[in-house]
Structure 1
Amino acid sequence: MDIDGVLLVDKPKGFTSHDIVDFVRKKFKIKKVGHCGTLDPMATGLLVLVLGKATKIQDLLMSEDKRYEGVLRLGQSTLTQDSDGQIVEEKPVPPLSLEEIKKVFDRYVGDFYQVPPMISAIKSHGVPLYKLAREGKEIERKPRLVHVYSYEIKKWDSPFIHFEVLCGKGFYVRTYCHDIGQDLGCGGHLFSLVRLQSGNFKLNQALSFDFLNSLKSPEELLNHVLTLPQVSRIRRQ
């Protein structure tokens, strides 16, 4: 049967975004399935899938703002800028005050430039950077203009900073944590990450992977797919 619409999934840790796309495509025999914004394997949370004719609005949905909840681990810089990567440098964490931390976070509000990490899906001459990185190659990356609307520091428990950030498209939370760690003088990396929201789609609307796996047929899945008219109404909210 033809299924056209948007499916919201709470991606578990350890899966790539493509793993979830491939799972849905094969299990429910849907020819066209895509996702609207990559989540790294170490990250969890909202993954927006487009099915069938909804793939035509994939780029539109991918460009929407996103909200994340993360933990920055100070004192350790890693190869991938997150907790999946090899530690390449360790420094003692100074006795930072919350005010000192906020001053650095304040530098990363509004428009600013980020240098994308080598471990990313950005392509150089048609080859994803992460493939070049696996070969031990380092390619010069052009800084990209990104935008942070707001942030909130939820908790400071050295060496961990718990934060929430609302950002525009093309923003790397890994690089955000890396850069803030460098500015604080001790380095840092993204320890954990949850995507809470993408556009007007929210994590509490998403299906768990276990529930998705329990569905037996495309007909059962259809009950949980947002139709294109529903998607249009949600985007206008």
Structure 2
Amino acid sequence: MTNSPAVPAVPAVLPAQGAILLVDKAEGWTSHDVVAKSRRALGTRKVGHAGTLDPMATGLLVLGAGPSTRLLTHLVGLDKTYLTTIRLGSATVTDDREGDRISTADPAAVEALTDDRIARAAAELTGAIEQAPSAVSAIKVDGQRAYDRVRAGETVELKKRPVTVYAFELGELVRTTDADGAPVVDIEATVRCSTGTYIRALARDLGAALGVGGHLTALRRTRVGPFDVADAVETAALAQGDPLPLLAPTVVATTLFPRLDLTAEQAVDLGNGKKLEFTEAGDAVPDAPLVAAIAPDERLVGLVELRRGRARVVTNFPVATEPSA
């Protein structure tokens, strides 16, 4: 796995090309809350994120500000890593602890759960799988969010979609009881998965496979691609006016993609949309779906596709010429 890029602490003054900001979202905050606070902290309306987190969840939220929001398209699809606690023995309408309970397992069925049984069920949910997202999700059904339909009393069943669970690592089984005194099993898990994977749905499906129901009681995102929550700023700092650890778009782009160093003339030409040819020792440079084209002053000119030595701009990164606020 690629190491997380070094994150320098700099004043919260947005550079001309914007920046990427890593935030450790606190429980109870919505992703929109974090974006709103970041807009004020950075003095710009142009802030977006590369993948939402539920209010119950904590952990890494990757934000883009100013022109660097153009990078978010290339960050959304990165793999994610989560730490979670799954409760086996009951199911909820939201597949997490915030929803109404819809089933409670027979105590004997919960008592019969073992580490081996749970591990075997988790193995069936590892690899390339088909997963139905949680009904309480932002996915639109006939133009309306699924969670709005559920809250209106409708029964919503979303179509399965392919996802990949690269790792589903389980901790020790802990026997306990829920608020009503019913026996349940809590188990901590680390999940590394492709984008679009619903961890709540994974808990639901694990419980269903074991015949006892399941839901999440805790969820924390620790990594997005090469970016680690250890390098993130806490949400409270966004309102305190402290220096924020901003990542320059060049740092982010060269962490994710191969680097292509440009001459000053090439940087101007590529920035103006001119098609360029690149060679190494007289031969065309190798094909690449995306490379980060960098000017001599370390400015990110754009992300380009290389084919037969010719560069095609996929995403350009002009320097902002107007106030960001």
Normalised by the length of structure 2, the TM-score is 0.68
Corresponding letter in the other structure for 1:174: R
1:188 pairs, out of 214, 217, 220, with 214
Matched residue SS, 2:211: coil
What is the aligned partner in structure 2 of residue 155 from structure 1? Answer: 172
What is the aligned partner in structure 2 of residue 63 from structure 1? Answer: 77
Name structure 1 gaps, 5 residues minimum. none
Q: Which has the higher contact order (CA 8 A, sep 6+)?
A: 1
Q: Relative to structure 1, is the Cα distance of residues 166 and 18 closer, same or farther in structure 2, using a 3 angstrom cutoff? A: same
1:231 pairs, out of 245, 252, 264, with 252
The structure where helix makes up a greater share of residues is: 1
Instruction: Say yes or no: does 1:87 pair with 2:129.
Output: no
What is the aligned partner in structure 2 of residue 102 from structure 1? Answer: 119
Aligned length: 232
Deviation at 1:236, TM superposition (A): 4.5
Deviation at 1:214, TM superposition (A): 1.7
Name structure 2 gaps, 5 residues minimum. 1-12, 176-184, 259-325
Q: Please, what is the CA RMSD of the aligned residues?
A: 1.6
Counting only pairs closer than 5 Å after superposition, residues 41-52 of structure 1 correspond to structure 2 as 41-52=55-66
Moved over 6 A (4+): none
Matched residue SS, 1:89: strand
Counting only pairs closer than 5 Å after superposition, residues 1-237 of structure 1 correspond to structure 2 as 2-3=14-15, 4-91=18-105, 92=107, 93-158=110-175, 159-215=185-241, 220-221=243-244, 224-236=245-257
Matched residue SS, 2:246: coil
Matched residue SS, 1:141: coil
Deviation at 1:151, TM superposition (A): 1.8
> Mean Cα displacement is larger for which, 157-166 or 1-10?
1-10
The answer to whether the 8 Å contact 1:155/1:163 transfers is no
Q: For residues 71-90 of structure 1, what are the alpha-carbon distances to aligned partners after superposition, in whole Å with 9 as ceiling and x for unaligned?
A: 00111100100011111111
In 2, distance between residues paired with 1:213 and 1:131? 31
The answer to whether the 8 Å contact 2:115/2:172 transfers is no
Deviation at 1:140, TM superposition (A): 3.7
In 1, distance between residues paired with 2:92 and 2:54? 15
Overall identity of the aligned pairs, in %: 38
Deviation at 1:128, TM superposition (A): 1.5
